[in-house]
Structure 1
Amino acid sequence: MQMITEDKLSLEYYGSPVENGHLKAKDVARYILALDDFMNVVTKEAYGNDVSLSMDVSGFRGQSFDVDFILQVVGLASNAIFCTGSPKDLITLATDSIKACIHLAGKQPESCDTDCDNNSVSVKNAFGDTQVFHIQTLNVISDPKASISLDTFIREPLTKGLSTVKLKSSQFNVETEASSNDADFFKPLDFELPLSKNMITTGLTIESPSFKDGNKWKLYDGQSSFYAEITDKNFLDKVDKGERFGKGDLLIVEMNIIQTKTPQGLKVEKIITEVKDHKEAPKQQGIF
């Protein structure tokens, strides 16, 4: 089943260029186009690739420079990620994406812990503060097209004398704002988005041990070779004390497998958090 939903969205600018009537028409046109690009990214994340968004300017108003848009989402299926059919979902995802940029303050997150049951992610920023967002929020701000759009309709006007940019829906009482102090938080960021983190217990064969702090061990899992960091302090203490670890030895380990989306593609990192057992490789028997 397909549905059509509508709502009004407002983009508002405040500051002396507005009060003095010095906003340039070409700049405003670019800001509107950038918002349109941003909202299309948000729509795809919220409702899937088969959904289209139509944004029509419905008026200008207020003492600030305000642009009102009619949003129309066409082709919404009942199995969409946000399947309530409420345009509030779409606008909340857009405003939360701006809030997430401010929370990260232009830096990579220190950690992202995903709760798949609730479709949420706890994001700890570089300053140790944690906020919870819908997981699609990180998909939006990690999208290069969305980050370029935010740079255009938020960061740029804030660096040209405007004091505040607001994006809101009065109908649903949903809004967010960015001030001039937040401008640098909307520069395009080479954002790394954690996709999954799995802990497994497995056996691995040592191909090349490492006896230097921070170096990765080369291991074999029965199908392929890979490098992994070992963080188990008890195991590393044994290495430091000279316990024998050599090629062909078997390690029974607990290992985190972390998959991350980067601007260059997918990245998989393997971290061994505990070495539960160590068995030396069988000694070769001589012929004579």
Structure 2
Amino acid sequence: MNFIDYYKILGIDKTASEADIKKAYRKLARKYHPDLNPNDKEAEKKFKDINEANEVLSNPENRKKYDKHGKDWKHADDIERAQKQQGSRQQYSHGFGGGGSHSDDGFSDFFESMFGGQHSAGSRQGHGNMHFKGQDFNAELQLNLTDVYTDETQVLTVNGKKIRLTIPAGIENEQVLKIPGKGDPGVNGGPNGDLYIKFNIVNNTKFKRYGNNLHTDVEVDLYTAILGGDIMVDTFSGKVKLKVAPETQNGTKVKLKGKGFPVYKKKGEFGDFIITYQISMPKNLSDKEKELFSELKKLR
């Protein structure tokens, strides 16, 4: 991996404050934004580099690692852990009188013992011989609720590579899926990093989703509520006919078993569809209707 000077990309020096970084990033991002430079591959690359530099330098922890370890900053925790273990090993060796075999850089013997390096000039290069797992990638994917009612296949482009992904029906909002080995390549033969995808599920329906259950309100006219009758109700999978019992009260709930949302990774299993009846009152009554209601009132 070649060293990338993030400070140079943003046009700032290493003493720049967080405010300086933010100001430089905003200025350059506006200049090289793809919307302002259509079909300009060079501007597109610069915009990508600017975003990468900002992501590292605007995060104090990442900036500290970058300043200390340069191109290996993503593996800073592994490097420092190995250095700490080497220090403990040397202390143990000196404490018990062991002469040991130490190279000028103080690390080669330790790394060779951990990672099987050969005793040659080419292999004794400090932490350059360590096998590191590649950096994990994090991404977000927005889907509609109707998209995840059935298994959904998507083709994603990650780091220039196309990944075909099957998203199981019933996935939850903000659920994260791990795609092994689809992150950054490993260092010195180490394993690839992983890809973590967070799903943002937008409810594009009139139904409310709570786990695997779906809820909806259904209007029932006063006469059907009093006398009973049949009504047609929309569900996620189509219309169904329901029989309303006589004297149905406002707020009555009806549960349709298995008519809700798919259960994640359980083929053929569904939650329930729960209907709440809302009794609608008649409006703009005629004189005759008012007269009849008056008669009813007297009877009650």
Write 1 or 2 for the structure with the bigger share of strand: 1
TM-score, normalization by structure 1: 0.28
Write 1 or 2 for the structure with the bigger share of helix: 2
RCO (CA 8 Å, sep 6+): is it higher in 1 or 2?
1
TM-score, normalization by structure 2: 0.28
Q: Which has the larger radius of gyration?
A: 2
